[in-house]
């Protein structure tokens, strides 16, 4: 019997992906575990293996097409078998890299039977819900004011909106005629670039963050003259070990010290349960500029690693990101992010928080500037810092105190060395 392979959830809460390249063709014989298709998911390329041995009867997804989790993408069977028409996409309760786990069929419901509602629907012009839930309702085409809230105080939760969206009948759309794509507008010729791949992931993530967390940015600067000298001194020793030593590992160490002293910046906000979750581990994401767009590999357990270990791992992660070899796990689990835009220029910025984190540190370029020290003007190396934070979780005073701790460590490298 033909086997319908559905696109699995290969990440944390993955909902969709983009087919990059099929590794097989229709009519080709494949073995279980053979490369089947390459899919781009959440900024990473994932190679999906075949779940079983057989013949590729039908490929149902085109390259560059966006596919949903649970959607049938290929039919595998025996030679000579025909591929049956796939069932419409569903939302499976359990999906893995080898396909959907079978579940007991649902019992049929009589036509007259009506669903039992434990409490009456509250029809209100202003439903109680977070901005993120309202955004989801808009995306799914659900009128949030008609949704029964199951949260505290009849708050509408994400699961309520999704359930309402699943039960909403989609109208039959008339057949659309192919639209003519103009290569010019009123003022001249233009190029149209499909919003796909990493750029599409970035766009969705930035909108979600900006319209979920109320952003506030505070700025300051640090004198890193002594730190620069230490880095220059140790650079040769690092190169002998094959390590490229930049100032970024020192900044990570300073940030970790700030997070230890100010844990509310190393947290996430659970909207549904109305809880602030303080993380007891320190996974630092570092924004990396790649030819395909911005990626944020995560250095796990940064507190327990030395400056040289951090430098080596940063080099490896950045190289993987640029070559699209980075694993999806390397992009997950961050608790705080650093955006080092100063590496390409720029003093200050207003970085967007890497949702669901609550803060991000923007690092500007190091610039020689005149500074008054002990009544004398000296030329010192100054680095510019911009901290964006979620004002729902962190107040301005706490954000500034965190930034003061970071600056203190950068201006006194001995403190970093003492902390390991």
Q: Which helix (H) or strand (E) holds 396?
A: helix 396-411
Q: What is the pLDDT of residue 126?
A: 64
Separation of CA 18 from chain center: 15
Q: What is the pLDDT of residue 100?
A: 41
| Residue 116: CB atoms within 10 Å | 5
Q: How far apart are CA 133 and CA 50, in angstroms?
A: 36
Task: Cis check for the bond before 123: say yes or no (omega within 30 of 0).
Answer: no
Separation of CA 204 from chain center: 9
Q: What is the pLDDT of residue 203?
A: 84
Walk me through the domains of the chain, giving residue ranges and CATH numbers: 3-95 (2.40.50.100), 216-419 (3.30.559.10)
Q: How far apart are CA 215 and CA 354, in angstroms?
A: 11
Q: How far apart are CA 166 and CA 136, in angstroms?
A: 13
Q: How far apart are CA 416 and CA 420, in angstroms?
A: 6
Residue 231 carries which DSSP code?
Answer: H
Closest CA to 254 of 154, 402, 44: 402
Q: How far apart are CA 71 and CA 33, in angstroms?
A: 20
Please give the structure tokens belonging to residue 253: 């160490």
Q: What is the pLDDT of residue 128?
A: 77
pLDDT (tens place) for every residue of the chain, 420 residues total: 788 898 887 765 677 888 888 998 988 899 888 889 988 876 677 888 888 898 988 898 888 888 888 889 889 988 767 655 555 554 444 444 334 434 444 444 444 444 444 444 444 456 777 777 887 888 788 888 888 888 776 778 888 888 887 765 445 555 556 566 778 777 888 888 888 877 788 888 888 898 889 999 999 999 999 999 999 999 888 988 889 999 999 999 999 999 999 999 999 999 888 899 999 999 999 998 888 788 899 999 999 999 999 999 999 998 888 888 888 889 999 999 999 999 898 899 999 999 999 999 999 999 999 999 989 999 999 999 999 999 999 999 999 999 999 999 999 988 877 765
Q: Which helix (H) or strand (E) holds 257?
A: helix 248-261
Q: What is the pLDDT of residue 117?
A: 45
Catalytic residue among 215, 262, 355, 391: 391
**Do 348 and 340 form a contact (C-beta atoms < 8 A)?**
no
355 is catalytic: no
Question: What's the predicted TM-score (pTM) here?
Answer: 0.68
């Amino acid at each position: 019997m033909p086997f319908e392979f559905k696109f699995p959830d290969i990440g944390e809460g993955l909902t969709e992906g983009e087919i990059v390249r099929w590794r097989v063709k229709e009519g080709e014989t494949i073995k279980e575990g053979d490369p089947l298709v390459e899919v781009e998911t959440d900024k990473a390329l994932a190679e999906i293996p075949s779940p079983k041995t057989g013949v590729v009867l039908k490929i149902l997804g085109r390259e560059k097409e966006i596919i949903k989790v649970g959607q049938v993408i290929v039919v595998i069977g025996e030679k000579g078998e025909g591929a049956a028409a796939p069932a419409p996409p569903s939302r499976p309760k359990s999906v893995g890299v080898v396909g959907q786990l079978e579940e007991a069929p649902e019992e049929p419901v009589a036509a007259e039977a009506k669903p039992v509602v434990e409490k009456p629907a509250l029809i209100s012009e202003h439903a109680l819900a977070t901005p993120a839930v309202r955004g989801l309702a808009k995306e799914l085409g659900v009128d949030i004011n008609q949704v029964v809230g199951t949260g505290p105080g009849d708050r509408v939760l994400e699961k309520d909106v999704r359930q309402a969206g699943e039960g909403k009948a989609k109208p039959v759309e008339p057949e659309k005629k192919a639209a003519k794509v103009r290569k010019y507008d009123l003022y001249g010729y233009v190029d149209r670039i499909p919003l796909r791949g990493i750029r599409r992931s970035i766009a969705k993530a930035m909108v979600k963050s900006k319209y979920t967390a109320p952003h506030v940015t505070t700025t300051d600067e640090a004198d890193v003259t002594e730190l620069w000298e230490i880095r220059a001194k140790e650079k040769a020793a690092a190169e002998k070990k094959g390590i490229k030593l930049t100032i970024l590992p020192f900044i990570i160490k300073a940030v970790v010290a700030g997070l230890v002293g100010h844990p509310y910046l190393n947290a996430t906000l659970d909207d549904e349960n109305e809880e602030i979750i303080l993380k007891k581990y320190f996974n630092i994401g570092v924004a990396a500029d790649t030819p395909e767009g911005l990626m944020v590999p995560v250095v796990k357990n940064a507190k327990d690693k030395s400056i040289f270990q951090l430098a080596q791992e940063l080099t490896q992660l950045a190289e993987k990101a640029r070559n699209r070899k980075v694993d999806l796990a390397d992009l997950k689990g961050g608790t705080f992010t650093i955006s080092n835009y100063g590496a390409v220029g720029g003093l200050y910025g207003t970085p967007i928080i890497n949702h669901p984190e609550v803060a991000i540190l923007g690092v500007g370029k190091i610039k020689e500037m005149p500074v008054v020290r002990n009544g004398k003007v000296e030329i010192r190396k100054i680095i510019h810092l911009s901290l964006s934070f979620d004002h729902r979780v962190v107040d301005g005073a706490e954000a500034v105190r965190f930034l003061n701790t970071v600056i203190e460590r950068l201006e006194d490298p001995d403190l970093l060395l003492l902390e390991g």
